[in-house]
């Protein structure tokens, strides 16, 4: 069946493809693998014990391949999505002047950071650009009934990312100045960010499950069980008889928790992190029912880390995807 002359059709966002033929759902899955290997497994394996050379090399290889695929694919997607979004008549000049430079800046910094550590000034620029990109997509997503829940997810992601980034910046400044009072301000900000992220995960899970209370309860129970299991392993790893596996798991769990710690128990922080990961994985399996679910997975994977290259790029993709899809879907 062919489309009428003068019209352009587009698949649902969950079926979008990058120039390399990489579906957005697979892109989100690769982002999860890259984040898990780079943020959790690699730091956990190094120094955890002897005889892990093969595992370390395997995790490094997986992390390198998936990170490069996400970086290249994300930049390609962002460029094409910007071009599509700019063709939309409803976008104002302010959006064009703000989002295009933000997307370009994030893409350039993400590629520049491959294989190297960004300087603090560039990491700060990366955080600001990625947060601007995701925030700019909020009003557009909220304007359509089908993407309104996604708009809430994008908005909460932008708010929590901004608060967390502020808390990290204040804490880093306090350490340089040796000020305990300023460090407490950073901790307060991280506590606010924790609360916003908790709300973000709850809204995201409700969106992914279509508001089904039974499915939401199942994901909640799975998250709670995994978090309690992690807490138990962390406790076991502190003993003198801890096994190598327990030490690796405990270090991986610790890598999820960024400093400064908020004024909440460690178990609650683990619950939030596990809930975010469970929600992101669940979103990948909800594409047929909820086409925008991969964008939710990107937000959950990237939340709280706008100053890190891969998460920042994920925020850009999530922020620019809705206006780009609206353009191609409505153009006539």
Radius of gyration, alpha carbons of the chain: 20
Q: What is the mean pLDDT of residues 20-48?
A: 79
Q: To which residue do tokens 């925008």 refer?
A: 292
Q: What is the mean pLDDT of residues 10-24?
A: 47
Per-residue pLDDT reduced to its tens digit, 137-164:
899 888 878 888 999 999 999 999 999 9
Q: What is the dihedral of CA 72, 323, 207, 70, to 10 degrees?
A: 0
Provide, rounded to the nearest whole percent, the portion of the chain with pLDDT above 90.
39
Q: Which of 7-21, 41-55, 181-195 has the highest mean pLDDT?
A: 181-195
Spell out the residues 6+ positions from residue 192 whose beta carbon is closer than 8 angstroms to its own: 163, 167
| pLDDT surpasses 60 at 330 | no
Output the pLDDT for position 242. 80
Output the pLDDT for position 22. 52
The domain spans of the chain are: 13-330
Q: How far apart are CA 313 and CA 328, in angstroms?
A: 22
Three-state DSSP at 262 gives coil
Q: How far apart are CA 256 and CA 264, in angstroms?
A: 15
* Summary mean pLDDT of the chain: 83
In this prediction the pTM is 0.87
Q: What is the mean pLDDT of residues 158-178?
A: 93
Q: To which residue do tokens 């290997």 refer?
A: 37
Chain mean position to CA 315: 6
Contact by Cβ (8 Å): 257, 230 = no
Provide, rounded to the nearest whole percent, the portion of the chain with pLDDT above 70.
88
Closest CA to 281 of 269, 268, 298: 298
Per-residue pLDDT reduced to its tens digit, 269-307:
999 999 999 999 999 998 888 888 899 999 999 998 899
- When comparing pLDDT for 212 and 15, which is higher? 212
Chain mean position to CA 264: 22
Per-residue pLDDT reduced to its tens digit, 49-103:
556 677 778 888 888 889 889 999 999 888 888 887 777 777 778 778 888 889 8
| pLDDT surpasses 90 at 7 | no
Output the pLDDT for position 288. 82
Output the pLDDT for position 87. 73
């Amino acid at each position: 069946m062919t489309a009428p002359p003068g019209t352009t059709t587009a698949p649902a966002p969950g079926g979008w493809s990058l120039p390399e033929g990489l579906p957005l759902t697979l892109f989100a899955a690769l982002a999860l693998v890259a984040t898990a290997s780079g943020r959790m497994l690699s730091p956990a394996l190094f120094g955890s014990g002897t005889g892990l050379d093969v595992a370390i090399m395997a995790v490094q290889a997986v992390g390198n391949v998936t990170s490069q695929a996400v970086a290249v694919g994300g930049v390609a997607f962002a460029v094409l999505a910007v071009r599509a979004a700019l063709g939309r008549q409803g976008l104002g000049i302010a959006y064009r002047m703000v989002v295009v430079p933000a997307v370009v800046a994030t893409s350039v910094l993400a590629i520049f950071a491959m294989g190297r550590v960004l300087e603090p000034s560039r990491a700060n620029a990366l955080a600001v650009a990625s947060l601007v990109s995701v925030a700019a997509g909020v009003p557009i997503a909220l304007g359509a009934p089908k993407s309104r829940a996604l708009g809430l997810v994008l908005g909460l992601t932008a708010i929590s990312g901004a608060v967390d980034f502020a808390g990290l910046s204040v804490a880093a400044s306090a350490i340089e100045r040796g000020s305990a009072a300023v460090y407490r301000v950073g901790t307060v900000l991280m506590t606010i960010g924790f609360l916003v992220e908790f709300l973000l995960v709850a809204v995201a899970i409700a969106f992914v499950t279509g508001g089904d209370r039974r499915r939401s309860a199942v994901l909640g129970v799975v998250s709670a069980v995994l978090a309690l299991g992690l807490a138990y392993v962390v406790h076991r790893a502190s003993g003198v008889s801890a096994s190598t596996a327990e030490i690796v798991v405990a270090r991986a769990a610790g890598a999820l928790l960024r400093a400064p710690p908020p004024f909440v128990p460690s178990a609650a922080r683990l619950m939030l992190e596990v809930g975010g990961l469970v929600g992101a994985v669940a979103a990948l399996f909800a594409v047929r029912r909820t086409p925008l679910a991969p964008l939710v997975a990107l937000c959950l994977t990237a939340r709280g880390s706008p100053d890190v290259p891969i998460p920042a790029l994920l925020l850009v993709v999530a922020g620019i995807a809705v206006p780009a899809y609206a353009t191609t879907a409505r153009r006539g």
